Chains A and B, each alone.
Chain A
Amino acid sequence: MSFRIARLLLLAAALALAGCEKSVTTEHQEVSGELVVRIGASAPLTGPQAHIGKDNESGTRMAIDDANAKGIIIGGRKVRFELVSEDDQADPKTATIVAQKLVDNKVSGVIGHLNSGTTIPASRIYNDNGVAQISPSATAVAYTAQGYRTAFRVMANDAQQGRVLGEYAAKNLGAKKIAVIDDQTGYGQGLADEFIKSAQSNGARIVAHEYTNDRAYDFTAVLTAVKGKQPDLLFYAGMDPQAGPMAKQLKALGLKLKFMMGDGGYTPQFIKLAGDAAEGAYASLPGVPLDKMPGGKEFEARFVAKYQPIQLYAPYCYDAVNVMIAAMQKADSVEPAKYLPALAGITHDGVTARIQFDEKGDLKGGAITMYQVKDGKWQPLETLGAIAPAAH
């Protein structure tokens, strides 16, 4: 028996070695005088969130293609950027494997991950290896609270967004009795907690806090429970695949109230899934509306032509890459150790906002725009707490 184990372990070891091709380890290889710089990207490309993950990948890819078309010179050499995209399956464990793989591939920086649950464990590996990480969409406060100088994000965190949303619900929309449903994910729970705090401090009463999960599609039970409390506003902290059917079921159950979401609901898919019931729903999105930003409209047109309608975070990925490249240009180096200080102090006018980081790596100021569905389309209402974009 033991003897067989011995053989087996040898076999296993051999398998581990032989089963795959050698990963590339040469640093910044040169192709015809060009400096090749790898940018890593990671998001779930399989599983229930795959559609949003793919959107992230496309946003990142477009920024990299743009940069290559521009012919950027860093350190006196023409630079060609190369995307290394990996699927983290929205799983924390896979995320660390992916992070290590990206580090092995000598990426100069990483755009990712999509979820807070994957961004946080991966950030430890990027930090240990001194690789810059910009998350386009992780909103958990804990991500930048770890004290890593490699961790940045180009998205308002839960505290920033929840505060604005709670205030908007209680003050601008005049809600007195509010019901909250969260999807029990890191994102939903974090946002719901901040929203509740803010709404309460602005004089609203939370009459119900119900829960669902990120795979559910039947919400009739929790919505009926909410109906019994007769709120005048329902806030859902979660993503569009749930928000869409929820809006539909709200209407079917005859609840007459204002329906509000965070950035997870601001997608064309929400409108598609909710149908008529989408009309009048509110959602927030960090940043300034694309068509109000210099280059925003043009970005959207090009993105749609090249890939598909923007799902959610593609513009943030686009900005994340550009801000990273801008920092490289400023520091005149593609080495993270050299360009990280430049990144921390950068001012970059992106398509979502003017990007500046505070000492933790969070977005400074954090403009947040409220949108409402009117005539089957998301229309911007107003932008709150913004730094005015430069070109306006």
Chain B
Amino acid sequence: MEIFFQQIINGLVQGSVYALVALGYTMVYGILGLINFAHGEVVMVGAMLALSSLTALLGLGVPPLLAFPLSMAIAMAGCMALGYSIERVAYRPLRHAPRLAPLITAIGISIVLQNLAMMIWGREYHSFPQLIANETHSIGGAIISDIQIAIFVAALFIMAGLLVVVHRTRLGRAMRAVSENQHAAQLMGVDINRVISVTFMLGSGLAAVAGLMVSANYGLAHYYMGFLLGLKAFTAAVLGGIGNLRGAMLGGLLLGLIESLGAGYIGDLTGGFMGSNYQDVFAFFVLIAVLVFRPSGLLGERIAERA
């Protein structure tokens, strides 16, 4: 039972990370109907920026408790600028192009960011400094650390914050309007370029937070860490219903749970024929099964047929 609890905690922590990244995917998708394939790389850049600024600040003698939020702010600012530029360079000129064109520029951006990061930060894996004692707590025999609790809480708070932004503010209303119908929104006086830019910056800022969380929890940063994470988060966003904030959160947590329970119990379920090597197969089967019965994901609305 203790092992089962532990797997649930593992799944929730991993799932929170997926959810944080998935929120970024889903925001951009919700407003533009576009898969921002480069989002995973923005997460990586966030982690790298945070690491560099943290090292620099600690080197200057800034106390750790101050250095941490400062480096987070720097990473967020950097990623927001990056997100803004990505949208300007790679997506805005293609807003009226065929649907797959921005997909290719996104892949291009992803390759460019990876290789730029390799030039700047090198090929090696960086270890992320441990700033404060990371205490572990035992809940019924299962173990959870401070950082893990922080990740889980942060994911919940950020989702709640985003919901407030989207549903209670002027900006949020503009976002929803653009996502419904760009032309109509424009006619109503919404500056759609600004709304889209702000959406990208919000999503990228979240990516920086996610990058920092991943690095702090696993203690490492590497220029290649974004790709797989981005892919998993994208899967999570689709599972929950892409374009839906609650869906991204739900999808992320579910995917994390499916993975950890899959890795833990496939062996027992199949009598040893399959093991944790089939963890991803298991996850994708669940995804396919969900989509067969709910073609728009768990919380996605049945969107009108699109051309």
Contacts and interface: CB of A to CB of B under 8 A. Distances in A.
Interface of A: 46-48, 50-51, 54, 184, 209-212, 215-218, 220-222, 224-225, 227-228, 240-241, 244-245, 248, 252-254, 269, 272-273, 275, 311
Nearest to B142: A224
Contact of B118 (A50, A224, A227): A50
A188 to B, nearest CB: 11
Interface of B: 3, 6-7, 10-11, 13-14, 115, 118, 122-125, 127, 130, 134, 136, 143, 145, 214, 218-220, 222, 224-225, 227-228, 259-265, 267, 275-277, 279
A224 B218 contact: no
Contacts of A211: 275-277, 279
Given A210-B275, A224-B10, A228-B3, A217 B225 contact: yes
A242 to B, nearest CB: 10
Given A51-B123, A218-B14, A273-B125, 8 more contacts: A46-B118, A47-B224, A210-B276, A211-B279, A221-B261, A228-B264, A240-B125, A244-B125
Contact of A218 (B143, B218, B264): B218
A217 B17 CA distance: 12
Contacts of B218: 217-218, 245, 248
Nearest to B130: A275
B93 to A, nearest CB: 26
A252 B218 CA distance: 11
A211 B278 CA distance: 9
A244 B136 contact: no
Contacts of B115: 46
B127 A273 contact: yes
A86 B59 CA distance: 38
A248 B224 contact: no
Contacts of B214: 217
Contacts of B11: 221
Given A51-B125, A217-B225, A273 B219 contact: yes
B145 A220 contact: no
Nearest to B280: A213
6 contacts: A218-B218, A221-B260, A224-B7, A224-B260, A244-B125, A248-B219
Contacts, number: 103
A227 B3 contact: yes
Contacts of B118: 46, 50
Nearest to B145: A252
A253 B138 CA distance: 10
Contacts of B136: 252, 254
3 closest residue pairs by CB, A with B: A221-B263, A211-B277, A221-B260
Contacts of A224: 3, 6-7, 10, 260, 264
A108 B300 CA distance: 62
A212 B134 CA distance: 25
A212 B276 contact: yes
A323 B279 CA distance: 44
Contact of B123 (A54, A225, A272): A54
A54 B118 CA distance: 13
Nearest to B222: A241
Contacts of A48: 222, 224
A233 to B, nearest CB: 18
Nearest to B215: A217
Contacts of A218: 10, 14, 218
A48 B228 CA distance: 12
B126 to A, nearest CB: 8
Contact of B219 (A220, A225, A227, A275): A275
A244 B220 contact: yes
A311 B11 CA distance: 33
B2 to A, nearest CB: 9
A303 to B, nearest CB: 16
B10 A220 contact: yes
A221 B228 contact: no
Contacts of A269: 124-125
Contact of A209 (B124, B228, B275): B275
A211 B281 CA distance: 13
B260 A220 contact: yes
B32 to A, nearest CB: 29
A218 B10 CA distance: 9
A217 B220 contact: yes
A47 B218 CA distance: 20
A46 B13 CA distance: 31
